[in-house]
Amino acid sequence: MTDSPTARMIADAIEASGKSQREIASEMGYERPNVVSMMKNGDMRMPLERIPAFAAATGVDAELMLRTAMIEYMPATWEVVAASRRQTGPERAFPVQDAQINVRGPASDIERFKQLCQAERRTYFDMLVQLMDIRDATFDRIIDEG
């Protein structure tokens, strides 16, 4: 497995999308799926101009993908872009710092979560947010009724 955060994000997005690499490659405008495979394995960088098409094909957040790729591929350029965006006002700033977690648990539960994400056509992160929102609403309701 590669150390590339962008390649990991690509691999996770492909898996969560439920689509084949051939389908994703086609939606991105590539004739051959091996290009997507090379990006997923970290053998080839994701061309920045292809990120919107990849995001549309997989459901990954395009801005998060762009930010991840630029921080990895062009950190100095990203610092300039991020600084200029922060200077234009709070509506353009990046208020949330990205983080990554690795979850260990029973294989059956992890597989169940992956299948749920695939069935709902959601990324792991989107599904996690949805589940946390449901949990918070349930606890709020219990407290309000108590």
pLDDT tens for residues 28-70?
Answer: 999 999 999 999 999 999 999 999 999 999 999 888 899 899 9
Within 13 Å and on the Cβ side, how many CA atoms surround 73? 15
Burial status of residue 75 (CB atoms within 10 A of its CB: 0-12, 13-18, 19 or more): exposed
Q: Is the pLDDT of residue 84 over 60?
A: yes
Number of H helices, E strands in the chain: 8, 0
What value, to the nearest 5°, has the Cα angle with vertex 29 and ends 40 and 20? 45
Write the pLDDT tens digit of every residue in 86-140. 665 555 445 556 666 677 788 888 888 888 888 888 788 888 888 888 888 887 7
Q: Looking at the domain that runs over 5-86, which CATH code has it been given?
A: 1.10.260.40
Going from N- to C-terminal start, the domains of the chain cover: 5-86, 107-145
Q: Which residues of 59-74 are buried (b: 16+ CB within 10 A; e: fewer)?
A: bbeeebbbbbbbbbee
